[in-house]
C-alpha cells in the first residue's frame, strides 16, 4: 500500500461500537454498517462482528458442526476452561521420526501441486476488506467482492459483485496489493516453486486437533517485478498439505518518497470435499511504517462457497474404477478435519495496498 499525502476529512467515518463480553474479557466490536439497525447488531452475517474474538470462536466451532446455530453453545465452547485444551501447542524442535525434513518437503510440494490443479477446477466467492484505523476507530475502508467462475466455454472468469467507493484517505491500494491478495495470501508451495525458496525445518507443533510439521520459508533471490512469500508454513502430518501460513509478501518497495509497504498476515485453510485443504480466511493487522508516519492497517479476506465445476468421466473395467481424466483428489481421501482456528488476536495486519 502506498502512503496518500494529505487527508480528506470528509472521508472520516464514525463506526458504532458495542461491548462484547467473552468469558472474562470485554472487547470493542465494530458493528458493520450493513447490520446497524438489526436487533443488537450481533448477527453472523456481520463481517466486522465475525472478526471479534467471539465471532471467530463461533465460526471455528460452527464449521466443525459443534455449534452451527446456537451462539450460546459456541460461547461455552470458547470459555477459557475449554480453550485451554485446544489451540496451539509448543513448538518441538526435535527431528521428525521415520521421515526426513527433505522427504516431507518433497511430499507436501507434490501434494500442493495436485491441490493447485484441483483449485483451478473449483468456483468460489472471495471478499476483501482493507481498513485504516485511528486508535480503535476505522477511518477508511476499501471493500470488494467477486465470484470466481467459468464461462460457457470453460474459461475461468472473475466477476466483481460488490465494489463500493473506497474511503481510504491515508493510503491507496496498488497493483501489488491486489496481486498479493489473489496470489500470495492464499500461498501455495508446489514442486515448481521449491527451487525458488529456502525452506528450513523448524519443528513440530499442534494446531487445534492437527499435528503439523513447521517450516520457515524465504526467497532464495528476488527477481525484478516479482512477488514472493516470506514467513512460516504449517504442514499437516497426515495429508502432507499446508494448513496455515503466516508471514508477508516481499519485497517492500522504496523509491525515494514513493513507498509501497505490505503487512504481515495469517491464512487458514479448511478441508473441502474431504480431500484438499483450501484457503478460507486471511487476516492481517499491522502497523505500516511510512517515512511520513505510521498507519494501522487491517485486512480481512474470505474465500467461501467452494464448488467443483463439471465432473471427471470414469470407466469401470473388471470391477475397478479407472479415472480417465485424472480426477481431482486422486489420492485416497482422508476423513474430514478442520484446520487451525483463526487466532483471536490479530496476527499480520493488512498491508495498506501499494506502499
What pLDDT digit, counting tens, does each position of 88-125 carry?
A: 999 999 999 999 999 999 999 999 999 999 999 999 99
Q: Give the mean pLDDT of 19-48.
A: 36
Report the candidate in 50, 95, 113 with the shortest Cα–Cα distance to residue 301. Answer: 50
Distance between CA 290 and CA 260 in Å, rounded?
A: 9
pLDDT tens track for 285-344: 999 999 999 999 999 999 999 999 975 444 444 455 544 444 444 444 444 455 655 544
Per-residue pLDDT for 54 more than 50? no
201: cell is 525445518
Please give the average per-residue pLDDT across 54-71, as a whole number: 42
CA-CA distance, 252 to 250, in Å (whole number)?
5
3-state helix, strand, coil split of the chain in percent (to 5) is: 20, 40, 40
In this prediction, residue 339 carries a pLDDT of 61
pLDDT for position 321: 52
pLDDT of residue 141: 98
**Residue 301: which H helix or E strand, with range?**
strand 293-308
> Which residues, other chains included, contact 45 with Cβ-Cβ below 8 Å and sequence gap of 6+?
34, 35
Q: What is the pLDDT of residue 142?
A: 98
Residue 1's pLDDT is what? 82
User: What percent of the chain stands above pLDDT 70?
Assistant: 64
Closest to 267 in 3D by CA, of 342, 177, 166:
342
CB atoms within 10 A of CB 304: 11
Q: Which pLDDT belongs to residue 218?
A: 98
Mean per-residue pLDDT, 27-42: 35
Mean local confidence (pLDDT), 48-76: 44
Instruction: Note the pLDDT of residue 256.
Output: 82
pLDDT level of residue 81 (50, 70, 90 thresholds): very low
pLDDT in tens, 221-267: 999 999 999 999 999 999 999 999 999 999 999 988 889 999 999 99
Mind listing the pLDDT tens digit for each residue in 129-180?
A: 999 999 999 999 999 999 999 999 889 999 999 999 999 999 999 999 999 9
- Given this model, what pLDDT does residue 318 score? 47
Query: What whole-number distance in Å separates Cα of residue 275 and Cα of residue 273?
Result: 5
Q: What is the spatial distance between Cα 345 and Cα 264, in angstroms, rounded to a whole number?
A: 13
Amino acid at each position: 500500500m502506498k502512503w496518500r499525502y494529505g487527508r480528506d476529512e470528509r472521508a472520516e467515518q464514525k463506526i458504532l461500537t458495542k461491548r462484547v463480553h467473552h468469558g472474562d474479557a470485554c472487547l470493542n466490536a465494530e458493528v458493520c454498517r450493513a447490520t446497524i439497525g438489526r436487533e443488537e447488531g450481533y448477527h453472523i452475517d456481520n463481517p466486522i462482528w465475525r472478526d471479534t474474538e467471539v465471532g471467530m470462536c463461533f465460526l471455528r466451532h460452527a464449521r466443525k458442526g459443534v455449534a452451527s446455530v446456537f451462539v450460546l453453545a459456541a460461547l461455552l465452547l470458547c470459555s477459557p476452561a475449554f480453550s485451554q485444551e485446544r489451540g496451539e501447542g509448543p513448538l518441538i524442535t526435535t527431528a521428525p521420526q521415520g521421515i526426513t525434513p527433505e522427504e516431507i518437503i518433497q511430499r507436501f510440494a507434490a501434494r500442493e501441486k495436485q491441490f493447485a490443479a484441483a483449485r483451478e477446477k473449483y468456483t468460489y466467492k472471495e471478499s476483501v476488506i482493507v481498513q485504516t484505523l485511528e486508535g480503535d476507530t476505522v477511518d477508511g475502508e476499501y471493500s470488494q467482492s467477486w465470484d470466481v467462475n467459468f464461462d460457457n466455454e470453460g474459461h475461468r472468469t472473475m466477476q466483481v459483485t460488490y465494489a463500493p467507493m473506497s474511503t481510504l484517505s491515508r493510503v491507496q491500494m496498488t497493483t501489488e496489493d491486489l496481486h498479493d491478495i489473489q496470489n500470495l495470501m492464499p500461498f501455495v508451495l508446489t514442486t515448481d516453486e521449491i527451487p525458488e525458496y529456502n525452506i528450513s525445518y523448524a519443528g513440530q507443533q499442534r494446531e487445534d486437533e492437527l499435528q503439523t510439521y513447521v517450516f520457515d520459508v524465504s526467497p532464495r533471490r528476488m527477481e525484478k517485478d516479482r512477488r514472493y512469500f516470506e514467513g512460516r508454513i504449517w504442514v499437516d502430518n497426515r495429508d502432507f498439505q499446508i494448513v496455515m501460513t503466516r508471514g508477508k509478501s516481499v519485497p517492500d518497495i522504496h523509491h525515494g518518497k514513493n513507498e509501497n509497504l505490505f503487512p504481515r498476515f495469517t491464512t487458514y485453510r479448511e478441508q473441502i470435499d474431504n480431500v484438499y485443504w483450501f484457503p478460507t480466511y486471511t487476516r492481517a493487522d499491522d502497523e505500516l511504517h511510512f517515512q511520513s508516519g505510521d498507519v494501522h492497517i487491517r485486512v480481512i479476506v474470505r474465500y467461501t462457497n467452494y464448488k467443483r465445476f463439471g465432473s471427471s468421466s470414469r470407466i469401470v473395467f473388471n470391477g475397478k474404477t479407472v479415472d480417465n481424466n485424472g480426477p481431482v483428489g486422486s489420492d485416497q481421501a482422508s476423513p474430514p478435519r478442520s484446520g487451525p482456528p483463526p487466532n483471536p488476536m490479530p496476527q499480520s495486519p493488512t498491508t495498506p495496498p501499494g506502499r
